[in-house]
Amino acid sequence: MVEKREALNSFKCFRTMVKKEAETCIKCLQIDRGGEFNSNELNNYCKQNGIKRQLTTTYNLQRVVAELKNKTVMNMVHSMLSSKNIPKTFWPEIVNWTIYVQNRCPTLAIKDVMSEESVVYNLELITFGYFDA
């Protein structure tokens, strides 16, 4: 998306893709009041198609953590691709491997427990938000 006015068309394309590939429909659109998804046209489109809209605060802790996680994952992927001259066709596999490794590393937030274990024992400790659109 180059300009904010392209948001509606981008959302329509995304909605079509979700319908075809996941065989489900979008029931709720959660946005952060950033402006690109606040147009009257998008509001009307959501109403016509029964899509609920939820507005969140622009900068909340969960979003900041997710964006930092995205940045960390992407930095690891870029370094692996460039250091070993791996073709970019392996990008999805490297992203999966990176997240797999990170989920098995201990963190400061969950002392002495790997992320994977904390998810199994207490689902409220971790929010998975690796790729924020």
- Integer Cα distance of 116 and 123 in angstroms: 10
| End-of-domain residue from the set 14, 36, 55 | 55
Top-confidence range, 41-55, 56-70, 115-129: 41-55
- Integer Cα distance of 133 and 131 in angstroms: 6
Task: Identify whether residues 69 and 43 lie together within a single domain.
Answer: no
Q: Which domain range does residue 29 map to?
A: 4-55
- pLDDT at residue 5 greater than cutoff 60: yes
In a domain, 126, yes or no: no
Task: Identify whether residues 48 and 69 lie together within a single domain.
Answer: no
In a domain, 131, yes or no: no
How many structural domains does the chain have? 2
Residue whose C-alpha is closest to residue 49's, from 34, 32, 27, 77: 27
Q: Write down the pTM of the prediction.
A: 0.48
Q: What average pLDDT does range 76-85 have in this prediction?
A: 87
Q: What is the CA radius of gyration of the chain?
A: 18
